[in-house]
Amino acid sequence: MSIAIDPRVAAFIDSQHGLLIDGRSQPALSGAQMPVFNPATGEELTRVAAGADADIDLAVAAARRAFEGPWAAQRPADRERLLLKLADLLEAHGEELAQLETLNNGQSIHLARALEVGAAAEFTRYMAGWATKIEGKSLDLSIAAVPGARYRAYTVPEPVGVVGAIVPWNFPLLMAIWKIVPALACGCTVVLKPADETPLTALRLGQLCLDAGIAPGVVNVVTGSGAQAGAALAAHKGIDKLAFTGSTQIGKVIGHAAVDNMTRFSLELGGKSPVIVLDDCDPQAAAAGAAGAIFFNQGQVCTAGSRLYIQRAIFDQVLERLSAIAGSLSIGPGLDEQAQVNPLISAKQQKRVLDMIGQGVADGARVLCGGVAYGEQGFYVRPTVLADVHAGMQVVREEIFGPVVVATPFDDIDEVVALANDNQYGLGASIWSNDLAKVMDLIPRIKAGTVWVNTHNMLDPSMPFGGYKQSGIGREMGHAAIEAYTENKSVCIAF
Ligand code: NAI
Ligand code: MG
């Protein structure tokens, strides 16, 4: 049974969805619109403005004026207060935002409440605190060029400027906040391009920023396709920094565009994160952990634990239990509070996931559970466990971004280190064991931006987050976020 839709959500969906530029909602200059779908039914939910080059020009100009005008005049304490107010508004509108996200993205309402709203509000408060704690260094110099002269130097972190943020559809509101809030804490202004599929909470967020008292033009939201609005933003000469989360393929396109203009950039990209289970684990508990690592948000998570390596003595037991869990999860719309598995984002993503499973089977993988679509309508894929895989298969090498895990046995630590690192990606990894010596041996040998022990997918605003290898460049969260949105100016004084 789905929960009743909040009337404010229904009213918002039925309203006109313009681009948010300089504090005003306006249609795309071309008049173009694009449809937004409900992944649980496949039906059109509403339409939004489809922005392109000329709209991006307007948004970047508005962000530039705000950066040099009202926003530059705000004291750090003012920025902190405004961001704290935004966090309060996120919570005050929490149920509305969560329902909107679930309708547009398909994810569980529990997840939308806890992460898209709850974790987003906590992240916002954490980053608000940084606004008043951005510090440079005082440096003692040894320059000997002019006898008798003395020098003193210090560094000043300055806001990098106008930020272009391009975010994906898997956690639309949270990803937008991960970019906008640290940028604002540092004194930057933003043009946000939400994913084609999930523009709605981004538009609500833009309005809530205004309601919080953040000046018009500080946060602009241009909805539209990646190929048009996204590409125009990435190539724009008026942008000082690009912050992107999405596929490695598009991340490279963004990086090339950025380098052409010498725009600063950070990329949070794909993953194929290993889950390593040592044989001292209780097989039941390990299976539950592995299930959570992959099936959370239907595997549409950049750090999804999609490669499972289990030490041979407990391989069969863990897999049997994992398959039983996967087969027992109830499938349904995100608005059904009982449903444990929800639709994927789109028909395109559903097809991509099913095609990759099909390729895996053609390559010799054995389906222990799932492997097929579910239901008459909506973009569901049953939780899937694949065995008899080997390191050369596409299902083992490439990001699937769906509820699909591939399982491989291993005998010793050296073998699992080699298997875990034999991938282009290096975003996350988890190690499951209480054998401290083995865990401490493994941690430094795993090439990943985050290594979890006896947990997976746990993120915190204080923990730098980002990838090794093809998983990206740069770090978000923690103090790293401040470095990502500031330039470091050195000042050298002779006296
Ligand atoms: P994508 O990387 O194409 O989309 C991410 C964002 O980039 C969206 O806002 C999109 O509009 C924008 N974009 C697309 N093309 C662009 C361009 N030429 N210039 C500027 N911006 C552009 O991801 P997509 O196509 O939605 O998903 C395909 C696959 O990518 C997924 O199956 C998954 O494997 C991976 N992916 C990974 C994510 C992650 O967080 N690791 C997030 C989303 C997708
Ligand atoms: Mg794409």
The burial of 73, by beta-carbon neighbours within 10 Å (0-12 exposed, 13-18 middle, 19 or more buried), is given as: exposed
Task: Work out the burial of residue 163: count CB atoms within 10 Å of its CB; fewer than 13 is exposed, 13-18 middle, 19 or more buried.
Answer: buried
pLDDT at 482: 95
The vertex-86 CA angle with 12 and 182, nearest 5°, equals 115
- Please give the chain's pLDDT, 495 residues, in tens: 899 999 999 999 999 999 999 999 999 999 999 999 999 999 999 999 999 999 999 999 999 999 999 898 899 999 999 999 999 999 999 999 999 999 999 999 999 999 999 999 999 999 999 999 999 999 999 998 888 899 999 999 999 999 999 999 999 999 999 999 999 999 999 999 999 999 999 999 999 999 999 999 999 999 999 999 999 999 999 999 999 999 999 999 999 999 999 999 999 999 999 999 999 999 999 999 999 999 999 999 999 999 999 999 999 999 999 999 999 999 999 999 999 999 999 999 999 999 999 999 999 999 999 999 999 999 999 999 999 999 999 999 999 999 999 999 999 999 999 999 999 999 999 999 999 999 999 999 999 999 999 999 999 999 999 999 999 999 999 999 999 999 999 999 999
Q: Which residues are within 8 A (CB) of 425 and not within 5 positions of it... i.e. 6 or more apart?
A: 248, 269, 270, 271, 272, 273, 399, 467, 469, 470, 471
Catalytic hit among 80, 268, 399, 483: 268
Between the CA of 385 and the centroid of ligand 2 the distance, in Å, is 26
Atom in ligand 1 nearest the alpha carbon of residue 269: 41
Residues enclosing ligand 1, CB less than 6 A? Answer: 166-168, 170, 193, 195-196, 226-227, 230-231, 234, 245-247, 250, 253-254, 269-271, 302, 349, 352, 399, 401
Residue 82 CB-half CA count within 13 A: 25
At residue 108's C-alpha, the angle toward residues 112 and 308, to 5°, is 105
Query: Bridge partners of 140?
Result: 152
Ligand lying nearest the CA atom of residue 250: 1
Res 1: pLDDT: 87
Nearest to 353 by CA among 419, 407, 293, 398: 398
Q: Which of 3.40.309.10, 3.30.70.60, 3.30.420.10, 2.30.30.140 is the CATH number of 274-460?
A: 3.40.309.10
- Sort residue 454 into left (φ over 0), alpha (ψ -120 to 50) or beta: left
Q: Residue 367 is inside which H or E element, if any? A: strand 366-369
In angstroms, the CA 142 to CA 438 distance is 47
Ligand 1: nearest atom to the Cα of 175:
40
Asked whether 165 and 193 are in contact (CB, 8 A), the reply is yes
Contact 269, 251 (CB under 8 A): yes
Bridge partners, 308 (sequence order): 275, 407
487 is catalytic: no
Q: How far apart are the CA of 244 and the centre of ligand 2, in A?
A: 13
Nearest CA to ligand 1 atom 6: 168
Contact 136, 157 (CB under 8 A): yes
The reply to whether the predicted model has a pTM over 0.95 is yes
**CA gyration radius for the chain?**
24
Residue nearest ligand 1's atom 25 by CA: 247
* Domain range list for the chain: 7-269+471-494, 274-460
Query: Which ligand 1 atom sits nearest the alpha carbon of residue 271?
Result: 41
The helix (run of H) or strand (run of E) holding residue 66 is helix 53-68
Instruction: Return the residue matching tokens 């976020």.
Output: 481
pLDDT of residue 145: 84
Q: Do domains 7-269+471-494 and 274-460 have the same CATH topology?
A: no
pLDDT at position 250 is 98
**Cα–Cα separations (whole angstroms), residue 382 to 100, 348, 371:** 24, 16, 6
CA–CA separation, 7 and 106 (whole Å): 19
In this structure, which topology does domain 7-269+471-494 adopt according to CATH?
A: Aldehyde Dehydrogenase; Chain A, domain 1 (3.40.605)
Are 186 and 160 in contact by the 8 Å Cβ rule? The answer is yes
Best residue for ligand 1 mutational test, from 179, 250, 354, 399 (most atoms within 8 Å of Cβ): 250
